[in-house]
Amino acid sequence: MIKKIILFMLLTGIFVSCSNFKEFTHPDPDSVILNELQLRNLDDSTYTGKYKVGPVKVIVKVTALNHAITGIEIVKHRTGQGQAAENIINKVIDRQSVRVDVISGATISSKCILKAIETALIE
């Protein structure tokens, strides 16, 4: 009886670990919701924002001047893939919005960068 309980606990632990590992390595891109920026409220300054989803972590510095985003620096971008997503900052500056198309093949990294920019400017 004790062997069955131990076996059950072991199998339950393995199942839970595998379930959590899948979520960590394959986050849902739809879980990252982007909000419209209110640039008219920005002071001239440099803002820092960060965001993490699954294994991807991003830290950015966003420079604002005259109520517009004039520069974005990616300070840290931890990911195994998705470096191409860093090109998304040009789209944000051009459109003055985080609601831009993500980089194909780098969806999670793109959304993480966008959310870090948003976080910098709304907090």
Q: How many CB atoms lie within 10 A of CB 65?
A: 13
Taking the model in full, what pTM does it have?
Answer: 0.76
Q: Which residues make Cβ contacts (< 8 Å) with residue 115, sequence separation at least 6?
A: 32, 34, 51, 53, 58, 98
pLDDT at 67: 95
pLDDT at 57: 93
Considering the four listed CATH numbers 3.40.640.10, 3.90.1010.20, 1.20.1250.20, 2.60.40.10, the one that applies to the domain covering 29-122 is: 3.90.1010.20
Query: Domain residue spans in the chain?
Result: 29-122
pLDDT at 23: 43
Tokens of 23: 């979520």
> Which one has a higher pLDDT value, 81 or 48?
48
State pLDDT tens for residues 32-63: 888 888 899 899 999 999 999 888 999 999 99
Distances (CA, A) of 32 to 12, 26, 38: 30, 13, 19
| Whether residue 10 has pLDDT greater than 70 | yes
* 45-53 and 68-78 beta bridge pairing: unpaired
What are phi and psi for residue 74, nearest 5 degrees? Answer: -90, 110
